[in-house]
Amino acid sequence: MALLVQKYGGTSVGTIERIEAVAEKIIGYKEQGNDMVVVVSAMSGETNRLTDLARQINPKVRGRELDVLLTTGEQVTIALLAIALEKRGFHARSYTGGQVKILTDNAHNKARILSIDAGNIDKDLKKGRIVVVAGFQGVDEHGNITTLGRGGSDTTGVALAAALKADECQIFTDVDGVYTTDPRVVAEARRLDQITFEEMLEMASLGSKVLQIRAVEFAGKYDVPLRVLSSFEEGQGTLITSESNEEDTVEQAVISGIAFNRDEAQLTINGVPDTPGVAFQILGPISDANIEVDMILQNIGGDGTTDFTFTVHRNDFETALTKLQETSEKLGARVCSGNNKIVKLSIVGVGMRSHAGIASRMFEILAKEGINILMISTSEIKISVVVDEKYLELGVRALHDGFDLAEYDEEAAE
């Protein structure tokens, strides 16, 4: 007998029929003798719908009251799922994050889980109940409702699995695992049997929204066995592991996957004095405005001046540009400009550590397609480039092809 924590995403609980199908699926696992804790998201589109409602009142809405609103989405699905389980003769108990209690810090809209009181859940499991928990939400030390950031139900699932020492955390979604890249962009993308935490963390950080970044961080930190599976099809999905599988030569490819991020915007300031403290003068006001900077590039100065380029989330573009214009005037910069029609393409793989020439191969593939690279950044296991947004699909497909990541087609090979 095992203890399983399963998380079902928005599409998986998107209609009453699907919620009933999820109930059947859970019962299947329960009847095999497993203890079941289930985390659910809001029905697909619901979190967006609620956000839109609030934005109709205040386009810049954020903070406490937004959290009170958004958490209602998940409260609906926990109750509906528990009703579906009870109808089938199974004892179920639904809980909001606050009821569990999933304690978070007070950073509304992007709170971090601090601790989980697993006592009530344990008691329910001992009584043979199926426990259904609302994803994406918690409560701070003063009892205020918080949310964990978009995609946060994944993190609820992993955190519960860690707290309960579950045998596995299973993330059920609308794809049957983690692919070499988003299968909605590249139809030939291949499902990975396994991927390391390290690679999955890079993929998630670089834009692959199949798992929330914090969920992967949490799973890595607490060694939670984590698997991504389809809600709609049978299959073993993708296991996220701490080690790469030596046996499987395909998994040993230098590049494991390609990620992309549409949420980037680029800002540039040209002809600023090349003196100590300039980077701080430029980025200080950006960070004071609570804007996170992603990539940063500074030219080697020549005539006593230098150029400085950085990227931010597209939502922060206007604010960042206003701040930069102010700095530009103070520093007497030559030009200050911005571009919010850019994207970031990244290749990820632990194999890069032991292989040289991957970056130049990447640049060659993009050059062949006539794609101009605007910025480059690298780490031990990833290379990212910023390109014009019109090249997103072309770039991802070319890289996927160029690094031979496509599904091996036996028939075509014969």
Half-sphere exposure of 93 (CA within 13 A, CB side): 17
Which of these, 56, 42, 139, lies nearest to 100 by C-alpha position?
139
Peptide bond into 209 cis (omega under 30): no
- Judged by beta carbon, residue 131 or residue 215, the one nearer ligand ADP is 215
Tell me: does residue 153 bind ligand ASP (CB under 6 A).
yes
What is each CA distance from 130 to 21, 28, 150, in whole angstroms? Answer: 16, 12, 26
Question: Judged by CB, which is closer to Mg ion: 9, or 271?
Answer: 9
Please tell me the distance from the alpha carbon of residue 40 to that of residue 151, in angstroms, as a whole number: 11
Place of tokens 């964990």: 148
CB nearer to ligand ADP: pick between 97 and 151: 151
The interface region with ligand ASP, picked from 149-157, 183-191, 245-253, 262-270 by CB under 6 A, is 149-157
Query: Interaction with ligand ADP in 220-259: which residues (CB under 6 A)?
Result: 257
Classify burial at 233, counting beta carbons within 10 Å of its beta carbon; exposed 0-12, middle 13-18, buried 19 or more: exposed
Question: Which partner, ligand ADP, Mg ion, ligand ASP, none, binds residue 179 by CB below 5 to 8 Å per kind?
Answer: ligand ADP
What Rg do the C-alpha atoms of the chain give, in angstroms? Answer: 23
Which residue number, 77 or 208, has a Cβ lying nearer to ligand ADP?
208
The verdict on 172 binding ligand ASP (CB under 6 A) reads no
**14 is a site residue for ligand ADP (CB under 6 A):** no
Q: Which of 41, 244, 311, 340 binds ligand ASP (CB under 6 A)?
A: 41
What is d(CA 403, CA 349) in angstroms, rounded to the nearest whole number?
A: 11
Instruction: Report if residue 13 touches ligand ADP, rule: CB under 6 A.
Output: no
Q: In 45-193, where do the E strands start and end?
A: 92-95, 102-104, 113-116, 130-134, 137-139, 145-147, 168-173
Q: Which of 73, 97, 138, 151 binds ligand ADP (CB under 6 A)?
A: 151
Between 124 and 154, name the residue whose CB sits nearer to ligand ADP.
154
CB of 350 to ligand ADP, least distance (A): 16
Residue ranges that bind ligand ADP, judged by CB under 6 A: 9-12, 41, 151, 173-175, 178-179, 181-184, 208-210, 257
Residue ranges that bind ligand ASP, judged by CB under 6 A: 9-10, 41-42, 47, 73, 135-136, 150-154
